[in-house]
Structure 1
């Protein structure tokens, strides 16, 4: 009987040892994958920052376009274009031309 008990104890010790070994291997695998995920997280954070900067620059550009559009609807813009491109002037304006 004592021999049977000893055999059972050795078998159960092997089982516990093998389970501990498997758990240890799983922990190593999880830690390696965790490092990989941390690296991906850093890359994604950098991409997010870059995209946020692009969004900010496009928002600023949109604001500039809206301001230019509002300016084009003013009489000041129409007068500027009429003077610069068409050469038109008011009746009471005096124009000085540079001599060549």
Structure 2
């Protein structure tokens, strides 16, 4: 009878060990699943941020090109003549300035 009892206890201990290991494995699987989901969300956020930054970079590059074009234009004789006429009211010696009355 002692032998049957030891065998029953051993079977019970084995079942308990199996249940414990199964519980631990399932818990780890759940934790890993949650962590993977969290990492995926962060990855999506970072990708969105990256796209936003790339769009801003493109916009700033375009703005830089326009400013460079304007800088070059400002250094031309055409611009200087235009500003002299517009802001200072100057004319070439062989020109006649006609101003409209306001």
TM over 0.5: yes
Q: Which runs of 5+ in 1 are unaligned?
A: none
Query: 1:2, CA displacement in angstroms?
Result: 4.5
* TM-score, normalisation: structure 1: 0.86
Match of 1:18 in 2: 20
1:52-71 mapped onto 2 (5 Å cutoff): 52-71=54-73
* TM-score, normalisation: structure 2: 0.84
Q: Which runs of 5+ in 2 are unaligned?
A: none
Distance 2:66 2:4 in 1: 92
Query: 1:16, CA displacement in angstroms?
Result: 1.7
- 1:48-100 deviations in Å (ceiling 9; x for gaps): 11111111111111111111111111111111111111211112222222135
Kindly indicate whether residue 40 of structure 2 is the aligned counterpart of residue 38 of structure 1.
Answer: yes
1:78-93 mapped onto 2 (5 Å cutoff): 78-93=80-95
- 1:20-44 deviations in Å (ceiling 9; x for gaps): 1100011111111222222212221
Structure 1 segments of 4 or more deviating over 2 A? Answer: 1-10
RMSD: 1.6
Q: Which moved more, 1:29-38 or 1:60-69?
A: 29-38
Distance 1:50 1:59 in 2: 14
